Amino acid sequence: MKKGAYPLREIPLALSLFEQFGEIPLLGILAGALFTGITSSNSATTSLAVALGASNVITLPAGIALILGANIGTCLLELVAVIGMSLNAKRAAAAQVVINFLGVMVISPFISPFAKLIALTSQNVSRQIANSHTVFNLASSFTLLFLSGLIVCLVKKLVPGQPIRIKRGTQYIDPKLLGIPHIALISATKEVKRAGKILLSMLDQVKQVLLKNKNDLLEVIYTNENQIDFLNEEISRYLTLISERELDDRASERIAQLLHGISDIERASDHLNKVAEQIEAKGKKRIIFSSQARREIASFLTDSSYLFKKSLDTLILEKPEQASEVSDRLQEIRNRQRELKAKYAHRWTQEKREVFSQILHNLERIGNHADNIAQIVVSGF
């Protein structure tokens, strides 16, 4: 950058422009913000300012103005990055905007005296510019740290709303109940039912991401999947401890059903998590499905939700007569999926077809796990 900046010394227009950055700091700040936006890098702007200083192309005040602009440009990048993300992510970006803007607004009228102070730190202009970057960011961060409470209040007003909170851990299983195995088994059943409800909520959330572009729900989906993983481990451990007690044949059979049930719920959540990831990746790759294709995927999510409601009733309420309905509906879904794949086989690019096919594949696997749960009760296993 230093070698590239050196020839600018021979261009009067460039020297005049950079000189104005020092005399009119607002121009330097705007230039720094613009360059940071183009390069998507605060570090690139800072390095450029240091390189220009090393080549004696800009003065220290002009370099400080560019660095202040880089701080503004970073804010704009953050605001773009959090589009569609969670409320807390948006608030974190807003906090950075507030902090950086306040810091720049406070120091901007005093660039000249600030430059005189920084000039005492070194005889080298490039070193002075680097030092100004360090001193400004440390001073503004340290000062605004004492105003963190006010900044939090301001950010909450700028980005209103309530963050989605997910209840973690178990709610029903209790080691103290192991002395009464049949009561412990009832508690484990409630916990399996809770895991199933979380899966049903995930199905609805994925549908909202697909149809309404509510990408802020992606974080919730991934968190819910982790919660189901945790519940699978805890419930399986708890049921194993119950099985070590003296039980009748019916209770032993029930433990086996619940173990298989929570395992299928966990595996279904893994496939649903993959569907969410594929939808997210589709957006990043700018792959656009037609509104009709999105509605067709959403209909499979609705079907999957129906299948799981039925299979959970079969397992939790022990209604084996509902299992045949789950199997019949699953076969209908498979037939529709095959028709849908054939429908778009020659209309889309290979990459688009692959994403679509992967989504349908994972939705089919979710239906398979719903059927597994229902058949466990039928088999009496």
Structural tokens at position 267: 């595996």
In the predicted model, what is the mean pLDDT of residues 144-154?
A: 83
Say if residues 205 and 221 touch (Cβ distance below 8 Å): yes
Say if residues 368 and 311 touch (Cβ distance below 8 Å): no
Summarised one tens digit per residue, pLDDT across range 212-263 is 888 878 888 999 999 999 999 999 999 999 999 888 888 899 999 999 999 9
Residue 42's contacts (CB-CB under 8 Å, 6 or more residues apart) are: 36, 70, 71, 73, 74
Q: Which of 36, 35, 107, 27 is nearest to 62 (CA)?
A: 27
Summarised one tens digit per residue, pLDDT across range 343-357 is 776 777 788 888 888
Q: Give the DSSP letter string of 62-124.
A: HHHHHHHHHHHHHHHHHHHHTTTS-HHHHHHHHHHHHHHHHHHHHHGGGHHHHHHHHHTT-S-
Structural tokens at position 215: 């990408």
In the predicted model, what is the mean pLDDT of residues 22-33?
A: 74
* 239 to 192, 199, 260: CA distances (angstroms): 11, 20, 11
Structural tokens at position 294: 């999105």
Summarised one tens digit per residue, pLDDT across range 358-376 is 888 898 899 999 999 988 8
Distance CA 134, CA 337 (A): 58
Distance of CA 78 to the CA centre of its chain: 14
Say if residues 47 and 81 touch (Cβ distance below 8 Å): no
Structural tokens at position 363: 């939705």
User: Helix H segments across 285-322?
Assistant: 291-316
Say if residues 377 and 315 touch (Cβ distance below 8 Å): yes
Q: Is the pLDDT of residue 182 over 80?
A: yes
Considering just the CA atoms, what is the radius of gyration of the chain in Å?
Answer: 30
Summarised one tens digit per residue, pLDDT across range 259-302 is 999 999 999 999 999 999 998 888 778 888 888 888 888 888 89
Q: How confident is the model at residue 196 (pLDDT cuts 50, 70, 90)?
A: very high
Structural tokens at position 309: 């409601």
| pLDDT, position 15 | 46
- Residues, the chain: 381
Q: Which amino acid is at 212?
A: K
- pTM (2 d.p.): 0.62
Q: How confident is the model at residue 113 (pLDDT cuts 50, 70, 90)?
A: confident
Distance CA 248, CA 87 (A): 50
| pLDDT, position 203 | 93
In the predicted model, what is the mean pLDDT of residues 138-165?
A: 80
Q: Is the pLDDT of residue 13 over 90?
A: no
Q: How confident is the model at residue 336 (pLDDT cuts 50, 70, 90)?
A: confident
In the predicted model, what is the mean pLDDT of residues 50-79?
A: 78
Q: What is the mean pLDDT of the chain?
A: 82
Structural tokens at position 234: 């805890």
What are the boundaries of each domain within the chain?
A: 2-158, 175-379
* 40 to 9, 17, 46, 76, 343: CA distances (angstroms): 26, 23, 12, 10, 41
| pLDDT, position 34 | 78
Class in CATH terms, 175-379: mainly alpha
Say if residues 6 and 51 touch (Cβ distance below 8 Å): no
Q: With residue 175 as reference, give the H or E element that holds it.
A: none
Summarised one tens digit per residue, pLDDT across range 300-332 is 889 889 888 989 988 888 777 778 888 888 888
